Chain A
Amino acid sequence: MATTALPLEHATHAEAHELSFIQKYIFSTDHKIIGIQFLLMSMLFLVVGGLLALMIRWQLGFPETAIPGGALLPETMAPDGFLLPEFYNSLVTMHGTFMVFFAIMPLLVGVFGNFLIPLKIGAPDMAFPRLNMASFWVAVPAGIMMLAGFFVEGGHSGAGWTVYAPLSADPEWTGVSYGQQLWLLSIAVLGLSSILGATNYITTVVNLRAPGMTWFRLPLSIWALFITAILVLLAIPILSGAAIMLFFDQTIGTHFFDAATGGQPLLWQHLFWYFGHPEVYILILPAMGMVSDVIANGSRKPIFGYHSMVYAIIAIGFLGWIVWGHHMFQSGMNPTLGMTFMISTMLIAVPSAIKVFNWMGTMWRGNIRFHVPMLHAVAFVAMFVIGGLSGVFMASTPVDIYIHDTYFIVAHIHYVLFGGSLFAIFAAVTFWYPKMFGRMMNPTMGKVHFWLTFLFYNLTFFPMHNLGVAGHMRRIYDPSQYEFLQPLAGINQFITVNALLLFASQLIFAVNFVVSWFRGKRATENPWEDNGLEWTVPSPPPHGNFAEVPTVYRGPYEFSSPDVSEDYLPQTTRLATDRTPAAGSEGGSA
């Protein structure tokens, strides 16, 4: 079963090394190559999403000035460099769409789910390598379709990334038909990619763990990716189903979400957020897991409260299913439900707090090495706290009446997804880069990039809280239409300038990423002196990862153990006191 599903090339070719370039790097079944493919693709979409954000910011900061380079945009988007309101709505929609579905989600799940799971559990590859290859190559046409929406008649979807019906359901309301349809098809196809990936991750973690890799010896990154995969598997089909229903509303007039003919506009919101809230945790759990690995490494200390951390991941994964209504407090949903959803939402603060305090507990009395991944990981904790705390405001239903659909929400989501997820992604990319490419990234450039990003990130997003407190609505093309928003124009300009600088700072990362790939210092097997199984194999690891099946003797966070003189103790090191794992304690049945 699992083992027979390993690449057929092994059977058909005498030597795995004779794979052609195309088999090795394009249609590869190697989880590491697929992870890198996802990395390159999602970084491309990160840039696209960033550019869209800059256009949004330009409009809000300097509506009287033509957008620089705006001459390149067609008349249907920005005549003479001035954005049209319908294009602005498309920008708002597509910035969110690309960042959530094509950047952050694949960066966390597609990249690190693929790259880390087999390496960290001691498996030669995923359980289903061909399915894995399919999951990437299904995502590519989804991305192309999503990009194509900009170039079709009527422009791209302008209904927000949440594509609320009926605005999204009938071209009559927006003038957008093909754009919205491509959006929906792309999401359904991308969903297939996610489902294939998730099935693979779950099967792999359950079945292919090395001998001795018990559940409670799994790194927290793997726990988080495992729980995330379960969320993906259960949540994505709901989105796909809803997207297909909306597609039928758009094209063949099914009227699922059209009130005039018996449909229910709120049904879309329930379906979308029933997917959408687990999605929020899909976008943060892997980040939390990987940050845990980096913080333990940087602090040279075992993770504080490993079991609590595992249970907190599981609790967040579970509670994530019963909080979706907090997006709908002001939607006209039964107000009694508002009470229920408020309490469940408040409760989710508890496992989040547990995680924050355990990260702090890990740093407490540590011997902290501030390598670049650690800087990003600590920034993750510092920023995620702000995103978590601002969540309490909107969880309180009465306060939400005021701040719902304002920039307070925009600030909150960016503290969680940029301050949280993206800083974690920077931590993870810089941490595992040597394992991926066999080269070290330049640490000086890494530090400069970190500090500039940290500074401009906060100057960009923190003032958005204040905009929200002043009542500034989100998704507004022209705030000057409202007298009460006119005094906020200065803050909007300030934010725009900092957003431009934030984007520019990312060039340093891009240069470091590309140049290090070819010119970076050669990486040793274990440059960060870590304990995980991936650091026992060459950088980059060969096809099949492990020369022989590794045996695991302990958990992944045995830093500064009194048993050894070094301050780290790899999971595979056998001490005199360790016994060979009995057959029953094996992780997988290979």
Chain B
Amino acid sequence: MSWILPPGVSTFASDIDFLYYLILIITGIAFVIVEAGLILFIVKYRERPGRKAYYTHGSTTAEIVWTAIPAITVVTIGVLSGGVWKTVKGRNSVPPDALPYGVLVKQFEWNFTHAGVDGALGTGDDFTLRNRMHIPVDRPVVMRMTAEDVIHSFFVPAFRIKQDAVPGMEIAVWFEATEPGEYELACAELCGIGHSNMGGTVTVHTAEEYSRWVAEQSTTAALR
């Protein structure tokens, strides 16, 4: 049982992980203070015959201190989080040079339309793969995602990305993988009977490997 996140392999994974560990440390300290305080009081102030409790209705100073410290702490966490949020999901966060993908999600499959050799969607060399997405390493990709039937959620734990796909909405979400390899993709939103079988893979290629692979696929697509 671990509190350590699995390895993160996207450009913003380390930012998200930093926030996670920061909150883990802060809440960990708060947890220890409160629980240790409770245990101390339970032992120290347990009932003893002939003793009366200290009669007090409180302390304004104490109230101010334990209002201000949590307030400052959480607002700080909020501000730090705000910066990362803007980078990952902010309105204008998608890098302009991101390689586009069209993603159509339905019960119980992911359809990834790859842009082909020309790197643009809506052209003749586009091709669509089911439950498999191939991307180049160290290059931002943007998925324009929509759902056909119900809400699903695109979740690749290794990239620290999760985004709902919603019928009637086209949602753009981007990420940039930093390590070649094959990563599991899961559906994170309950979507019906086949929800737990709605997995897939994202394959991250080196730049050369990706060019070769995409050229092959585009040719096959053109022949069809």
A contacts, CB < 8 Å to B:
85-86, 89, 92, 158-160, 164, 166-167, 172-175, 258-260, 263-266, 299-302, 304-308, 330-332, 334-336, 338-339, 342-343, 346-347, 349-350, 353-354, 356-358, 360-361, 363-370, 378, 381-382, 385-386, 389-390, 392-393, 395-399, 401-402, 404-406, 463, 465-466, 469-471, 473, 475-479, 481-484, 491, 559-562, 567
Assembly CA distance A4 to B2 (angstroms):
63
Tell me whether A347 and B74 are in contact in the complex, defined as CB-CB below 8 angstroms, given that A332-B164, A368-B46, A399-B16 are known contacts.
Answer: yes
Assembly CA distance A300 to B51 (angstroms):
11
A-chain residues with CB within 8 Å of residue B85 when the two chains form the complex: 335, 338-339, 342, 397-398
Tell me whether A174 and B196 are in contact in the complex, defined as CB-CB below 8 angstroms, given that A308-B63, A347-B71, A567-B52 are known contacts.
Answer: no
- Cβ of B208 under 8 Å from chain A: no
Tell me whether A357 and B150 are in contact in the complex, defined as CB-CB below 8 angstroms, given that A350-B67, A397-B85 are known contacts.
Answer: no
B53 pairs with A567, CB closer than 8 A: yes
B-chain residues with CB within 8 Å of residue A365 when the two chains form the complex: 45, 53-54, 56
With beta carbons under 8 angstroms apart, the residue of B23, B34, B53, B57 that contacts A399 is B23
Shortest CB distance B44–A (Å):
9
Assembly CA distance A402 to B8 (angstroms):
11
Assembly CA distance A383 to B127 (angstroms):
52
Interface string of B6-27 (1 = CB under 8 A from A): 1000001001100110011011
B195 pairs with A475, CB closer than 8 A: yes
Assembly CA distance A396 to B187 (angstroms):
22
Pairs of residues from A and B, 5 with the lowest C-beta to C-beta distance, nearest first: A259-B168, A471-B157, A365-B54, A305-B58, A389-B27
Shortest CB distance A470–B (Å):
6
Number of interface residues, chain B, beta carbon within 8 A = 87
- The segment from B86-94, B113-121, B132-140, B213-221 that touches chain A is B86-94
A349 pairs with B1, CB closer than 8 A: no
B2 pairs with A158, CB closer than 8 A: no
A167 pairs with B192, CB closer than 8 A: yes
Shortest CB distance B67–A (Å):
6
- Cβ of B96 under 8 Å from chain A: no
Assembly CA distance A560 to B169 (angstroms):
63
Given A159-B190, A392-B23, A471-B157, 10 other A-B residues pairs in contact with their CB atoms under 8 A: A301-B55, A308-B63, A346-B74, A353-B67, A382-B38, A393-B20, A398-B88, A473-B188, A484-B184, A491-B1
With beta carbons under 8 angstroms apart, the residue of A357, A364, A398 that contacts B84 is A398
Residue from B81, B90, B163, B191 having most chain A Cβ neighbours under 10 A: B81
A-chain residues with CB within 8 Å of residue B90 when the two chains form the complex: 335-336
Identity of the chain B residue whose Cβ is nearest the Cβ of A351 in the assembled complex? B67
A-chain residues with CB within 8 Å of residue B1 when the two chains form the complex: 463, 466, 491
A260 pairs with B167, CB closer than 8 A: yes
Shortest CB distance B121–A (Å):
20
B199 pairs with A173, CB closer than 8 A: no
With beta carbons under 8 angstroms apart, the residue of A175, A264, A358, A473 that contacts B58 is A358
B contacts, CB < 8 Å to A:
1-6, 12, 15-16, 19-20, 23-24, 26-27, 30-31, 34-35, 37-38, 41-42, 45-48, 51-59, 62-63, 66-67, 70-71, 74-75, 77-78, 81-82, 84-86, 88-91, 93, 107, 149-151, 153, 155, 157, 160-164, 166-169, 171, 184, 186-197, 199
Identity of the chain A residue whose Cβ is nearest the Cβ of B83 in the assembled complex? A398
B190 pairs with A330, CB closer than 8 A: no
With beta carbons under 8 angstroms apart, the residue of A89, A166, A397, A401 that contacts B167 is A166
With beta carbons under 8 angstroms apart, the residue of B34, B47, B171, B196 that contacts A369 is B47
B66 pairs with A343, CB closer than 8 A: no
B52 pairs with A560, CB closer than 8 A: yes
B74 pairs with A167, CB closer than 8 A: no
A481 pairs with B149, CB closer than 8 A: no
B192 pairs with A173, CB closer than 8 A: yes
A-chain residues with CB within 8 Å of residue B86 when the two chains form the complex: 335, 339
B-chain residues with CB within 8 Å of residue A463 when the two chains form the complex: 1
Identity of the chain B residue whose Cβ is nearest the Cβ of A375 in the assembled complex? B42
B-chain residues with CB within 8 Å of residue A363 when the two chains form the complex: 38, 41-42, 45
Q: What are 18 A-B interface contacts by the 8 Å CB criterion?
A: A175-B193, A342-B82, A343-B75, A346-B75, A346-B77, A346-B78, A347-B71, A353-B67, A363-B41, A367-B47, A382-B34, A396-B78, A398-B15, A402-B5, A405-B162, A473-B188, A475-B190, A482-B186
B-chain residues with CB within 8 Å of residue A567 when the two chains form the complex: 52-53
Assembly CA distance A308 to B164 (angstroms):
40
A402 pairs with B20, CB closer than 8 A: yes
With beta carbons under 8 angstroms apart, the residue of A92, A390, A396, A491 that contacts B81 is A396
Assembly CA distance A517 to B27 (angstroms):
43
